Structure 1
Amino acid sequence: MKPPEERDFVRALTRGLDVILAFSHLRPSMTLSEVAEVVGLSRPTARRLLLTLEDAGFVKTDARRFSLTPRVLALGYAYLSSLDLAQVAQPHMDALVKLTGEGCAMAVLDDCDVVYVNRVPTHRITSLPLTTGTRLPAHATSMGQVLLADLTPDQLESYLTRADLPRLTARTLHSPHEIRSRMEQVRQHGWALVDQELEEGLRSISAPVMGAEGRTVAAVGMSTTVSSTTLERLRSEHVPHLVAAAAAISKDLGGRVAAERES
C-alpha cells in the first residue's frame, strides 16, 4: 500500500508537466528519443505522454519531431492573471524605463530558476531571448539573488542542495559558501547587483517586491551593458530609482515596505 502522502499523487501528471518544461529556446523541438533522454523516461512512457499532450492540444508533431503549441501559454496566463502582479507593476515599470532609459523586468522564483512574469524592453542588450516565461538560473541573476535572499535558512540550504549552480562566466557564483555570503550582502543592502555573472558584458540590479505578509513575492530588475553604464552610475543613479519603483509596486500590492537601506 502506498504511504498516505502518496495516495493522492498522480505521477503521470507530473511527468507530463516535466515533458512540457523540457522544451526551451535551446530545444524548441525534439524527437521521441530526445524527450525520453532529457526527462529521464523510457521511450514507451515518453511516447504515451507526448501522444496525450498532442491529443490535448499542447504538443504537435511532424511524425518525427515534437514541439509545443501556443496553447501552452494558457498555463502561464492562468498563473499571471491570478497574481495580478504584472498588471499592478506595469505603470511603475513603464515609468522606470522612461526615467532611466534601461529595460526593466519582473520575475518570481520557481524552484532553482527565476521566471519572467513581465518585461518592458528598450533595446536588446543580451544574446539571451528574454520574454515573459523565460527561465534563468537564480544564482546567476540579480532578480534571482533578491528572491533567494528572502528564503529562510532551511529553504536556502534546500535550494543549495538541489541547484546545479553552473558557472556561466568566470564571475558566476558557483559554491554554496559564495552564495550564502552574497545573500547576506543582499539582505543588508536591500537590493542586488550582478556584474557579468550571467553573461559577459551584462550588468543588472534588482530590488524586492513585498507582499502583504512582508515577504518577497517578486523581484524587479534592470539590465545594462558594461560599455554603456559604469558600476558607480548603477549604484548612485539607477539603484535609488529601482528601489523606489519596487517600493511603489509593493505598496500597491498591500505589502509592508521596509525602510530604505544604505548601500
Structure 2
Amino acid sequence: MAASTPESTPENSDYYVKSAEKTLSVLLAFTGDRPALTVTQVAEATDLTRAAARRFLLTLTDLGYLTTDGALFRQTPRVLDIGASYLAGLSLPQAAHSHLTALAQELDETATLTVLDGQDVLYISRVAAPRLHSVTLNVGNRLPAWVTSMGRVLIAALPDAAREEFLKQLVPQGFTSYTISNIDDLRAELQTVRKQGWCLVEQELDEGMRGVAVPITRDGDVIAALNVSIQPGRAKREVLTDRVIPLLHTTAQRIAEDFGGRQRTAARAGS
C-alpha cells in the first residue's frame, strides 16, 4: 500500500504566512456585539495563547488599527482602510444583488431596486420571484415615479422645494380607477409616506398589482428605493404591514451597509 501524503491545504503551502492569518483573526474577533475585548477574550476567540494575543493586539495598536485603555482593546476607524478600495469600486446594484435574491426567495415575489431619474423611476437591479419564468420589466426600464410605491418613497424624501417642483411639473392621469390623480391628494399621500417610512400603492398603475417600497438610506440621504410587487390575492394587508414591510426595512439596511453605510457610521463614531 502506498504511503499516504498530507492533504494539500493553504497552511502547508510554501507561500503561506501564518502570522497574516493570525493578524486577520485578531481583527475579526471584534464584532458589533463585542466591540471591546480583553487580551483573554481575544486569545479565546482566535485560539492563540494569551501572550501571543497580547503581542498581536499591541502591534495592531502601534499601527493605529486598535486603541486600548490598558484593559480593553477596540478597533479604530483606520481598519476601514483595509476595505476602502473594494468599497470604492462597488456599485449599488452589486451591493444589493445578493440581498434582492434573498428577499425574492423569502417572499417568492419579485424584488426591485430603483432610483429617481427626472419624473421617472429607473430600474437598476431586479430579481424575479422564483415562481416566475419571465419578467416584463428589466434593468433600464422606467415607470412614472408618482404612481409607483418606489417612486413615491423617493419623491417623499426630496427636500420640500424639490418635491414641490416635481409636483409642479407633473401631469397626472388616471391609469386605473384606483389612481390618485389629484395633486393635493398626492401631496398628502407623500407626506404620509415621508412620515411612516414606507409606501403601499394598490392597483394604481396596474389593476391586480400592489407595490410596497421602503427607502435605502446612507448617511441620512435616501439613495434608492427597494420594492416588491404582490398580487392582492397573495397576501392580506396585515401580512404586508406585519411581515413584508419589516423584511423590506431589514433588507434595505443590509444593502446600505454593504454599500458603505456601516463603515461610514463607524468612522463618524470613532472620529
**CA-to-aligned-CA distance 1:29-78 (integer Å, 9 cap, x gap):** xxxxxxxxxxxxxxxxxxxxxxxxxxxxxxxxxxxxxxxxxxxxxxxxxx
One of 229, 237, 246 as aligned partner of 1:240: 246
**CA-to-aligned-CA distance 1:171-221 (integer Å, 9 cap, x gap):** 112122112111111112111111111110101100111133x11110010
Change (3 A) 1:103 1:228: same
Which range moves more in the overlay, 162-171 or 148-157?
A: 162-171
**CA-to-aligned-CA distance 1:99-141 (integer Å, 9 cap, x gap):** 1111100000011110100000125599x82111111011110
Change (3 A) 1:83 1:107: farther
Change (3 A) 1:229 1:119: same
One of 224, 237, 242 as aligned partner of 1:231: 237
Structure 1 residue 193 and structure 2 residue 200: aligned? yes
**CA-to-aligned-CA distance 1:85-105 (integer Å, 9 cap, x gap):** 110001111111121111100
Q: Quick check: which has more Rg, 1 or 2?
A: 2
Identity %: 35
Secondary structure of the corresponding residue to residue 143 of structure 2: strand
One of 193, 204, 217 as aligned partner of 2:211: 204
Structure 1 residue 253 and structure 2 residue 227: aligned? no
Measured in 2, the distance between the counterparts of 1:125 and 1:148 equals: 32
- Structure 2, unpaired ranges of 5+: 1-87, 265-271
Structure 1 residue 104 and structure 2 residue 137: aligned? no
- How far apart are residue 153 of structure 1 and its match? 1.0
Structure 1 residue 163 and structure 2 residue 170: aligned? yes
Change (3 A) 1:82 1:174: farther
- How far apart are residue 253 of structure 1 and its match? 2.1
Residue 145 (structure 1) aligns with? 152
- How far apart are residue 82 of structure 1 and its match? 7.8
TM-score normalized by structure 1?
0.62
CA contact (8 A) 1:202 1:223 kept: yes
After TM superposition, list the pairs within 5 Å mapping 1:6-85 onto structure 2: 84-85=91-92
CA contact (8 A) 1:143 1:221 kept: yes
Residue 75 (structure 2) aligns with? none
Secondary structure of the corresponding residue to residue 248 of structure 1: helix
- How far apart are residue 245 of structure 1 and its match? 0.2
Secondary structure of the corresponding residue to residue 99 of structure 1: helix
- How far apart are residue 252 of structure 1 and its match? 1.9
Secondary structure of the corresponding residue to residue 227 of structure 1: helix
CA contact (8 A) 2:146 2:152 kept: yes
RMSD: 2.4
Measured in 1, the distance between the counterparts of 2:133 and 2:209 equals: 8
Secondary structure of the corresponding residue to residue 139 of structure 2: coil
Measured in 2, the distance between the counterparts of 1:116 and 1:155 equals: 21
In the alignment, residue 94 of structure 1 is paired with which amino acid? T
Secondary structure of the corresponding residue to residue 194 of structure 1: strand
Change (3 A) 1:174 1:226: same
- Structure 1, unpaired ranges of 5+: 1-80, 258-263
